[in-house]
Every structure is written in structure tokens, then in C-alpha cells.
């Protein structure tokens, strides 16, 4: 019933995966106070090396990218050294791991870095920092053209740091209402310059980041996550469809490792996309597609058999089951996830 999940998959000439099951990026907030990965994190990831590919928890590319407590970084020498322990542990167990590169944009908070919050436009998001509810969001500064140039360079530097740290590649986090995604939606991007107003302009920052990162480490080592459907820290606008139509057409000309849907529940319907995020992306993107959003091994197998996507990212079940892949392969019961499991890394 799930045999298709255990087929080998070649992303490109450089990378072959042992199976179609990807461990989704899962923010755990367990780095030390200098945002350095810990020995416990190395053990945690190594235990999940049975996945065809692990996508790390989102890793901030610079200090002002932080919007959650104790999220690991990839901008200091100590952080790079900490990640070396993680990647070595995963590789020793036969796994592969990509670093997810992250800037949260307007959902950053000065509490963490003591500076300005950056976003495409000076539009505040309502609410407070997860796990730190006493910190409410502030109005961000609209980035200048010089800011944008520096941000693009910092994504590329983080990608180089990831390779130095032993990651097999990187996934650029362009989804879920964070910085890159904020450029791609009309409700968060009101710029009047070459980064706003039209699909070509609004997609420019994402494409510049992809271009800089692929130039830094090679397109075969680079993937991207996108949320065409606005659903988290963003409101949708019917005009968003044209932005993603344009962006994905451009991505079709760049042989990335894969494109990853960003959605918590892939049963969500978006009128302006004609239905589910994954179906829209499959109909638009010509390369390998990673589906995500509440799939079980059985439902993912059916989706892959029906050509809805090529690989599946599994999230919370990996928190509850370090040996998730082996359990599924041998038909063993899978332990149910519960929120109290977030308190520790096991």
C-alpha cells in the first residue's frame, strides 16, 4: 500500500534519496542562547536519518531574522561548528540533510536583536511572538534598495556557511508569511518601486535570492519553499495568483533540486488558485514537487501514485516517531503526536 514511498528518487546528478519521505522543517526552539545547535539537536536529527531527506528546522541567516526564541543561526563561526556536529551525526547514520534558510521579516521582534524589524512595506502584522505572548509585533521598516542588496548577499553567505557546515544543500524558506513570502502577496507588499505593484516586480526579490544562492553553491544543491495560498500571518488577494504564475514560470527555467509546497493542511481550498496549493503547484511547476500538509503514509502514497506530487514531507509524526520511516515500512503502529512532546528533544 505504501511501497511507492520506498523507491529511490534522484533529485539530480548530485543527489539521490533512499526514499520519498522527507522530514519536514520543524521549529523546535532548542538552540542555546547564542543560537548554536546543541549536542541534543545532533542526537535528535541523527535518530531521524531514515528519512530520504531531512530538512532542518528553519535557520536564521542573520540576527534581525529572528522571530522565535532559541532558533538556531547560520551566521557565526560557532553556529557553523555546531551544525557540523548535526550534519556529521546524520551522515554517520546514512542520512542526508538540507538547511532551511530563514528570515522572518515583519514577524521578527527587537527583543531578540535590538534593532529595526525589516519587511517589504511598513505594514504591521497583528498578534504576538509564539511562545512569548507578552511580545507583540511592531511596525516594520520598509527595506531600502541597499537593505535588499545586503539581504540577498546574506542569503548567499548563509548557503555557503551551510555547505561549510556539512549540509547536503539548502532549502530557501520563501513560504508561510515570512520575508520572501511577504514580497509575494499584495496585502504585505505595497511598494511603489521595482519590488512592488506588478507580478514581475513582486517576484524580483525571491528570484534574486534564488539566483544568488544557486550561484554560491550550485543549483543542484538548492530548493525553495513557497506558499501561493496566503494562510499564515498573511491575508490572500486574488491578484496573488498572477505573482506566483510569473514566479513559477521563471523557476521552471532554473533546475532546482525541488520545489516544496508551504501549507499546514493541504485540504485547504483557495479560490484564486482553483483549489489546493499542491494541485496548483503541480499544474504550474515542471520539476520535482514536495507535497506537505497533514498527509499520512497512506494518503501520501495515493497522492504520489496519482501524480499530485513526487515526494512527501512529514512533520509532527517525526516528532513523535524518530523511527517513523521504519515503522511505516514494516507496517508498525505510529505513535500519535501530542503537544507535550514539544518540551523536549528525543
Residue 131 has pLDDT above 90, yes or no: no
Which residues, other chains included, contact 293 with Cβ-Cβ below 8 Å and sequence gap of 6+? 261, 263, 264, 265, 266, 267, 268, 277, 278
Q: How confident is the model at residue 105 (pLDDT cuts 50, 70, 90)?
A: very high
For residue 16, what pLDDT is reported?
Answer: 98
Positions marked catalytic = 178
At 200-226, the pLDDT tens digits run 999 999 999 999 999 999 999 999 999
Across the range 44-53, mean pLDDT stands at 98
For residue 134, what pLDDT is reported?
Answer: 87
Whole-angstrom distance between the N-terminal and C-terminal Cα of the chain? 29
Question: What percent of the chain shows pLDDT beyond 70?
Answer: 100
Burial per residue of 241-261, b for 16 or more beta-carbon CB atoms within 10 angstroms, e otherwise: bbbbebbbeebeeebbbbbbb
Query: Residue 65 burial (CB < 10 Å; 0-12/13-18/19+)?
Result: buried
Angle subtended at Cα 169 by Cα 330 and Cα 324, rounded to the nearest 5 degrees: 15
Task: Record the pTM.
Answer: 0.98
Taken in order of first residue, the domains within the chain and their CATH numbers are 22-289 (3.20.20.70)
Q: What is the DSSP letter of 181?
A: H
Are the C-beta atoms of residues 213 and 159 closer than 8 Å to each other?
yes
Mean of all residue pLDDT scores within the chain: 97
Are the C-beta atoms of residues 17 and 7 closer than 8 Å to each other?
no
Residue 300 has pLDDT above 90, yes or no: yes
For the record, the C-alpha cell of 50 comes out as: 531514515
At 80-97, the pLDDT tens digits run 999 999 999 999 999 999
Amino acid at each position: 500500500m505504501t511501497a511507492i514511498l520506498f523507491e529511490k528518487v534522484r533529485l539530480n546528478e548530485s543527489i539521490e534519496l533512499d526514499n520519498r519521505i522527507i522530514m519536514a522543517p520543524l521549529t523546535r526552539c532548542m538552540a542555546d542562547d547564542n543560537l548554536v545547535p546543541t549536542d541534543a539537536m545532533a542526537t535528535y536529527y541523527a535518530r531521524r536519518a531514515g528519512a530520504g531527506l531531512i530538512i532542518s528546522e528553519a535557520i536564521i541567516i542573520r540576527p534581525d531574522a529572528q522571530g522565535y526564541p532559541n532558533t538556531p543561526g547560520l551566521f557565526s563561526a560557532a553556529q557553523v561548528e555546531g551544525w557540523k556536529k548535526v550534519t556529521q551525526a546524520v551522515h554517520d547514520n546514512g542520512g542526508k540533510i538540507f538547511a532551511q534558510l530563514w528570515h522572518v521579516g515583519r514577524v521578527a521582534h527587537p527583543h531578540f536583536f535590538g534593532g529595526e524589524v525589516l519587511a517589504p512595506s511598513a505594514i504591521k502584522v497583528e498578534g504576538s511572538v509564539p511562545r512569548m505572548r507578552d511580545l507583540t509585533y511592531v511596525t516594520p521598516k520598509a527595506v531600502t534598495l541597499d537593505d535588499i542588496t545586503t539581504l540577498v548577499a546574506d542569503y548567499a553567505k548563509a548557503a555557503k556557511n551551510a555547505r561549510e557546515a556539512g549540509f547536503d544543500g539548502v532549502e530557501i524558506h520563501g513560504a508561510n508569511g515570512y520575508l520572501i513570502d511577504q514580497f509575494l502577496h499584495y496585502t504585505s507588499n505595497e511598494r511603489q518601486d521595482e519590488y512592488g505593484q506588478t507580478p514581475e516586480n513582486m517576484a524580483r526579490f525571491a528570484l534574486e535570492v534564488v539566483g544568488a544562492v544557486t550561484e554560491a553553491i550550485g543549483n543542484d544543491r538548492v530548493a525553495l519553499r513557497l506558499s501561493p495560498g496566503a494562510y499564515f500571518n498573511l491575508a490572500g488577494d486574488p491578484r496573488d495568483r498572477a505573482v506566483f504564475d510569473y514566479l513559477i514560470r521563471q523557476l521552471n527555467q532554473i533546475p532546482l533540486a525541488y520545489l516544496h509546497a508551504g501549507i499546514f493542511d493541504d485540504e485547504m481550498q483557495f479560490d484564486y488558485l482553483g483549489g489546493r496549493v499542491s494541485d496548483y503547484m503541480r499544474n504550474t511547476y515542471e520539476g520535482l514537487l514536495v507535497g506537505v500538509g497533514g498527509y499520512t503514509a497512506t494518503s501520501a502514497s495515493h497522492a504520489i501514485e496519482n501524480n499530485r506530487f513526487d515526494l512527501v514531507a512529514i512533520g509532527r509524526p517525526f516528532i513523535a516517531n524518530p523511527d517513523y520511516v521504519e515503522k511505516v515500512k514494516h507496517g508498525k503502529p505510529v505513535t500519535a503526536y501530542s503537544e507535550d512532546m514539544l518540551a523536549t528533544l528525543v
